[in-house]
Amino acid sequence: MTVFHFLNCAFLTFGPHVVYYSATPLSEYDTIGTSIKAAAVYLGTALVKLVCLATLLKVPENDSFDPYQELMKVFIGFIDVAGLYFALTQLTHRNISQNHKFQAVGLGWAFADSVLHRLAPLWIGARGLEFTWEYIFQGLEANANLVMTLSLAALGSLMWLRKNKPRTLVPIIYACALLLATMPSITSYLRRSLEWQTPKVVGFELFSSLVMAFISWQLFSACQRPM
Amino acid sequence: MSPSGELLASISSALAVAFVFLACVELGDAAAAVSVYRLIQYDLAGAPLGSRAAVLNHHAAVLPLPAGADLSRSALVAPLLDLPLSFLREYLVEKKQLGGLLILLPTNQGDKDSADDKGQVKGVLTELEKLLVHEQVPYPVYFALDDDNFGNLLADIHKIASSGQPASATTGGYKLVVSSAEPRKVSSPTISNIQGWLPGLKGEGDSEQLPTIAIVANYDTFGAAPALSLGSDSNGSGVVALLEIARLFSRLYSNPKTRGKYNILFGLTSGGPYNYNGTSKWLRGFDQRVRESIDYAICLNSVGSWSNDLWMHVSKPPENPYIKQIFEEFSDVSKEMGVSVGIKHKKINVSNPRVAWEHEQFSRFRVTALTLSEMSTPPEFLESTGGLHDTRESTDVESVIRTVRLVSESLARHIYGLRGRNIDVFAENSSLAINPRYVRSWLDLLSRTPRVAPFLQKNDPFIAALKKELSEHTSDVHVQSDALEGMFTFYDTTKATLNVYQVASVTFDLLFLLVLGSYLIVLFCFLVISTRGVDDLINIFRRPPSRKLKGA
């Protein structure tokens, strides 16, 4: 990988976060503090997840799909939901509306996730000469992850911060939130059990993230309407 | 420990783990990491020869090349049988520039290859070696063993090359990298000679020195790639034959009743490719009385692939009484064995520094000597010295056994005066039979061991193994080490690791940057429209003029 390619991939991985912040009203309402706090909560959540993974799971001897282990991973994945709940409900905010609050939290969360999971491999790959498509796919995954996290934050905002929700939409909101929370396990299942290749998995992630974003947006708009 | 000390220790250990991790990741970075063997680099009387560079950092190119291709910044990758020697001769003689050359040697496919294929490989390798060794090559030349990795690599490079332009920084492709230090001169290269004695039986009244018969074989090699110069036939076969003869006669000489009235001197000499420089120094180191006691010397050279004809090369005329007697002894045994021994006479030109056969060094000291070889003509300088083509497949155990039988029987008849009697001293199925397993195991060992003298240390395990084996059968074994003649200068770096990287082109990255920029611009516009409306998007471009007017 050349330095040029490294900069391209870093741009692809972290650029959308910056574009989202500057394009939306977040930049006008000075929500950077909230994003930083959300990132800190993400790091703490990641540490807790790491300890749980090391304690409760055993290292697989082969690369097969173990339903019990995957179920444990799903439960450990819900720690992310707990972390998001903490970030959305417990952090103190200065006169930020709910619309901007969940966006700031989701953005900080996704940015911290990309930094933690993708910056180190990108840097290590930059030091070699070998070209591989892996880092481009990693950048695309970061984009899908950003959309997923924002969708989950939106649904979380509906579940925990909005009181007057239409009664008929509550089950749909919870079902979509559950689906978004289990998305890492779904991609793991596709990759290991169905043996999908990386381009196919990344395509599925992008497509499903757009679909979930659309559904979340519709739900959020429906809840915005006065009863 | 204080809290800050503990913190510092934990941080430093974490950093150490991180650095170790980074170092490990670096190792597994390339698409393929292959062992390669460098073309030899040496000076002969001050003239630079062989490959004069070791560092390789170029894109890969394969044959056939597009017309008018500039290879000055390309590393050519070619299997041995696909590389025309005319092409290589053109690049070498006309001093055309090449970034580098990687020659893929065929591996042993066992029974898959036919005898014709093996002969073709051997012939091409011989010609290639002759061409590369005697020329100055200004770029790095490496040899590698052809395997599946290179098959895939060559197919990919062909695909890139078929697009019409060779691989370069703008078109991507594969890049070959060998990172090695600048080759340095081998300081004080040594040659080590190993000798052992089987002392003869002295009578009670004998006050004279017993006569001595010497069996000598040269063991070191020289080839285009020092790390691949195994020399199975030249002269691994001679070394094995000598060891077996020593084993047989040690059994005879261990019993006083069967001990002969001749001393037998076994010598394993070094420096053979360089006009038998080691043999000369070995003989010069002898005591004069010992040298004068040598009745005759038998030198064994390349005796591993003959079937019916073996040649006895002499420097004295065949009419000489000593030569005639020795030749008749060999002829008698060869007739019984059903093979023929021819005699070849070659006068020594004392003013010519070229020494073609090992026995010529003995003749220069006025010792009667001969060389037994399957070659009917003397080899040229630095040829037939155990190079790339001389592998285990080209050597036959039966051929070595025939040599051992011929020399042993002739020697026994000479020592015990058995001429004319129908006695087989080393008959098969007797306690003195030749051991084929012994011959085969030593031949296998020698066929796996590169033995270019300047790269063998004085305490090399191979020399120690030869010395130990000779100690099993003979007495008074010692190693005589000397400096190689100053006419030769050798350089190190005979092996390296080749990393093959797949690299992308700058054009690809430029296109990727364009696509990425477009994507981010579209994303920006979409987000602005969806969150603020079209009017705000338009206002982004209108606001600066209004501010400017306001400021003015």
Architecture field, domain B191-202+209-419+448-484:
3-Layer(aba) Sandwich (3.40)
Cα–Cα distance between B211 and B179 in angstroms, integer?
57
Please give the DSSP secondary-structure letter assigned to residue B168: B
Q: Which of A8, A19, A130 sits opposite B31 (nearest CB)?
A: A130
User: SS3 letters for B85-110?
Assistant: HHHHHHHHHCCCCCCEEEEEECCCCH
Cα–Cα distance between A91 and A37 in angstroms, integer?
8
CB–CB contact A16 B523 (8 Å): yes
Site from A131, A146, A218 to mutate, B interface, most B CB atoms within 10 angstroms: A131
Q: Which of B501, B506, B528 sits opposite A23 (nearest CB)?
A: B528
- Which amino acid belongs to residue B49? L
- Of B220 and A56, the structure prediction assigns the larger pLDDT to B220
Check if the beta carbon of residue B294 is closer than 8 Å to that of residue B262: no
- A26-41 mean pLDDT: 77
CA-based radius of gyration for chain B? 33
Cα–Cα distance between B89 and B288 in angstroms, integer?
49
Chain A contact set for B175 (CB, 8 A): 129
CB–CB contact B520 A2 (8 Å): no
Q: What dihedral angle (degrees, nearest 10) is formed by the CA atoms of B31, B37, B38, B44?
A: 180
Closest CA to B181 of B124, B218, B140: B140
Cα–Cα distance between B89 and B83 in angstroms, integer?
11
Cα–Cα distance between A128 and A122 in angstroms, integer?
11
B504 touches chain A (CB under 8 A): yes
**The pLDDT of residue B214:** 92
B25 touches chain A (CB under 8 A): yes
CB–CB contact B506 A131 (8 Å): no
**Collapsed DSSP state (helix, strand, coil) of residue B143:** strand
List beta partners, residue B496. B36
CA atoms within 13 A on the CB side of B152: 6
- A129-157 mean pLDDT: 82
Site from B521, B531, B532, B539 to mutate, A interface, most A CB atoms within 10 angstroms: B531
Check if the beta carbon of residue A38 is closer than 8 Å to that of residue A109: yes
Cα–Cα distance between A127 and A133 in angstroms, integer?
15
Residue with tokens 């339903």: A67
CB–CB contact A25 B532 (8 Å): yes
CB–CB contact B523 A127 (8 Å): no
CB–CB contact A23 B527 (8 Å): yes
Chain B contact set for A126 (CB, 8 A): none
B519/chain A closest Cα distance in angstroms: 9
B274/chain A closest Cα distance in angstroms: 43
Cα–Cα distance between A144 and A138 in angstroms, integer?
10
B153/chain A closest Cα distance in angstroms: 14
A177/chain B closest Cα distance in angstroms: 23
Closest CA to B484 of B304, B290, B277, B345: B277
B23 touches chain A (CB under 8 A): no
**Alpha-carbon distances of A215 from A164, A170, A209, A218, B524, rounded to whole Å:** 19, 13, 10, 5, 21
Chain A contact set for B511 (CB, 8 A): none
CB–CB contact A127 B26 (8 Å): yes
User: What is the dihedral sign for C-alpha B487, B489, B495, B496?
Assistant: negative
Check if the beta carbon of residue A179 is closer than 8 Å to that of residue A171: no
CB–CB contact A2 B503 (8 Å): yes
Q: Which of B29, B175, B520 sits opposite A19 (nearest CB)?
A: B520
Cα–Cα distance between B54 and B179 in angstroms, integer?
8
CB–CB contact A24 B527 (8 Å): yes
- Residue B477 has φ and ψ, to the nearest 5°, of -85, 130
Both structure tokens of B209: 């020195």
Q: Quickly name the fold that domain B29-183 has.
A: Glucose Oxidase; domain 1 (3.50.30)
Ranges of chain B whose pLDDT falls below 70 = 1-31, 66-67, 73, 108-118, 147-150, 152-154, 156-172, 202, 204-209, 289, 419, 421-423, 428, 485, 502, 505, 532, 534-552
Q: Evaluate if residue A122 carries a pLDDT over 70.
A: yes
- A177-189 mean pLDDT: 81
Q: Which of B31, B172, B513 sits opposite A8 (nearest CB)?
A: B513
**The pLDDT of residue B238:** 92
Segment of A41-50, A122-131, A153-162, B428-437 carrying the highest mean pLDDT: A41-50
Residue with tokens 């000597």: B369
B17 touches chain A (CB under 8 A): no
Cα–Cα distance between B91 and B76 in angstroms, integer?
12
CA atoms within 13 A on the CB side of B13: 5
A64/chain B closest Cα distance in angstroms: 25
Q: Which of B175, B506, B531 sits opposite A24 (nearest CB)?
A: B531
B50/chain A closest Cα distance in angstroms: 30
B502/chain A closest Cα distance in angstroms: 5
Cα–Cα distance between B407 and B405 in angstroms, integer?
6
Check if the beta carbon of residue B228 is closer than 8 Å to that of residue B143: yes
Q: Which of B520, B527, B528 sits opposite A15 (nearest CB)?
A: B520
Q: Which helix (H) or strand (E) holds B497?
A: strand B495-503
B535 touches chain A (CB under 8 A): no
Cα–Cα distance between B280 and B442 in angstroms, integer?
26
**At CA B384, angle to CA B367 and CA B127, rounded to 5?**
155
SS3 helix, strand, coil % of chain B, rounded to 5?
40, 20, 35
Write down the domain spans for chain B: 29-183, 191-202+209-419+448-484, 509-540
**At CA B339, angle to CA B337 and CA B342, rounded to 5?**
130
List beta partners, residue B314. B345, B370
A1 touches chain B (CB under 8 A): yes
Q: Which helix (H) or strand (E) holds B212?
A: strand B212-218
Chain A residues 9-68 with a CB less than 8 Å from chain B: 11-12, 15-16, 19-20, 22-25
Cα–Cα distance between B28 and B17 in angstroms, integer?
17
Q: Which of A24, A124, A130 sits opposite B501 (nearest CB)?
A: A130
Q: Do domains B29-183 and B191-202+209-419+448-484 have the same CATH topology?
A: no
Closest CA to B144 of B100, B113, B90: B100
A190/chain B closest Cα distance in angstroms: 27
- Residue B329 has φ and ψ, to the nearest 5°, of -65, -45
**Collapsed DSSP state (helix, strand, coil) of residue B307:** coil
Closest CA to A209 of A156, A162, A140, A135: A140
Can you list the alpha helix ranges (DSSP code H) found in chain A?
3-23, 32-56, 67-89, 98-114, 120-126, 134-160, 170-181, 183-192, 198-224
Check if the beta carbon of residue B190 is closer than 8 Å to that of residue B484: yes
Check if the beta carbon of residue B374 is closer than 8 Å to that of residue B212: no
Chain A contact set for B503 (CB, 8 A): 2, 129-131
A68/chain B closest Cα distance in angstroms: 31
Each residue of B323-369: pLDDT tens digit? 888 888 888 888 778 888 888 888 787 788 888 888 888 888 878 89
Site from A1, A6, A8 to mutate, B interface, most B CB atoms within 10 angstroms: A8
Q: What dihedral angle (degrees, nearest 10) is formed by the CA atoms of B446, B450, B453, B458?
A: -80
